[in-house]
Amino acid sequence: MEKYFNEHTPVYELERFRSAFEFMRKNASLGSTCMDIGCGAGNVLEYVKNELSLKVSGMDFAENYVAQASKRCGCEILKGSILDTAFIDGIKKEYDFVLMGAILHHLVGGTRARSEELAKSAVRNALKLLKKNGYLVVIENAYSPSFPMAALFYIKRFMSSLSNKRVSFLNGWNNIGAPVVSFYSNDQIKKMIPANIVKDEAVDYPDLSLVWKLAGIKRASWVTFIGQKH
Ligand SMILES: C[S@@+](CC[C@H](N)C(=O)[O-])C[C@H]1O[C@@H](n2cnc3c(N)ncnc32)[C@H](O)[C@@H]1O
């Protein structure tokens, strides 16, 4: 996965963060700090720094993304994996906001169940980086029902064992090759966050493409979960 993201470094659009940015605008105060886990190209951090006036830091495991993000934001970008507990424990800072944007579905193991476990460990590690009363902001694309996504996961695993190239299928969102992704339903994502900290949730429904409809997907959405550390 690290190799894949070193070779593919797209800049993803910011619209997905609309609810998150609104929440942050309302709840940040002067000097608030933000850590973006899986910050990619750093465009989210750039917005948070320039438009919300927070002090920003980022983290990513792909060297090329680390370089892009630090150039774009002029801030500290740590290189490491959110799944590396020793690395996380070595970060001695705590933040007011910790973002996890479109990263949980990239934490994949050999099975769907193992992938869910990895996503939960990532959330546990992310919580370690929050100050008391700080906010965890999780943004994911969610799909229901979940069985077509289980099928996609195993198809992608098989195709990726043959080649690490993207593989097109029909038109639209159609990549059945690398990277392996484990997309979840809204409820599955919610269960990855400790129930006692979930404070808020927002759901934005994009249009369902024909490819998704043919695959049996009934609902596709961007979900934002906010948790507050006690
Ligand atoms: C789909 S991109 C999302 C980028 C950005 N957060 C956004 O929403 O625009 C996923 C990002 O997570 C990073 N990533 C994937 N697994 C990671 C891990 N275990 N630790 C740290 N970063 C990871 C990738 O390198 C990539 O930058």
pLDDT tens digits, one per residue of 171-195: 555 677 778 999 999 999 999 999 9
Nearest ligand 1 atom, CA 83? 19
Range of the domain at 109: 2-141+182-207
Nearest ligand 1 atom, CA 39? 6
pLDDT score of 174: 65
CA distance 149 to 44: 27
Decide if 153 is inside a domain.
Answer: no
Tokens 């700080």 sit on residue = 134
Residue 166: pLDDT above 80? Answer: no
CATH of the domain at 90: 3.40.50.150
Tokens 């979960």 sit on residue = 225
Decide if 226 is inside a domain.
Answer: no
For ligand 1, atom 8, the nearest C-alpha belongs to: 101
Q: What is the DSSP letter of 179?
A: S
Nearest ligand 1 atom, CA 17? 8
Decide if 94 is inside a domain.
Answer: yes
Residue pair 126/100 in contact (Cβ under 8 Å)? The answer is yes
- Closest listed residue to residue 117, CA positions, set 168, 42, 217, 192: 192
CA distance 69 to 86: 23
Instruction: For residue 60, report the distance from its CA to the centre of ligand 1, in Å.
Output: 6
Residue pair 100/129 in contact (Cβ under 8 Å)? The answer is no
pTM (whole model) above 0.85: yes
State the alpha helices, DSSP H only, in 129-185.
147-162
pLDDT in tens, 89-137: 999 999 999 999 999 999 999 999 999 999 999 999 999 999 999 999 9
| Number of domains making up the chain | 1
Decide if 215 is inside a domain.
Answer: no
**Cis peptide preceding 194, ω within 30 of 0:** no
Decide if 214 is inside a domain.
Answer: no
Decide if 223 is inside a domain.
Answer: no
Decide if 176 is inside a domain.
Answer: no
pLDDT score of 17: 95
For ligand 1, atom 4, the nearest C-alpha belongs to: 40
Q: Which residues line ligand 1 (CB under 6 A)?
A: 1, 5, 12, 38-40, 44, 60-62, 65, 81-83, 101-103, 106-107
pLDDT score of 213: 87
Residue pair 146/184 in contact (Cβ under 8 Å)? The answer is yes
Minimum mean pLDDT range among 3-17, 155-169, 175-189: 155-169
Nearest 10 degrees: Cα torsion 3, 7, 13, 18? 20
pLDDT score of 137: 98
Decide if 51 is inside a domain.
Answer: yes
CA distance 208 to 136: 28
For ligand 1, atom 18, the nearest C-alpha belongs to: 81
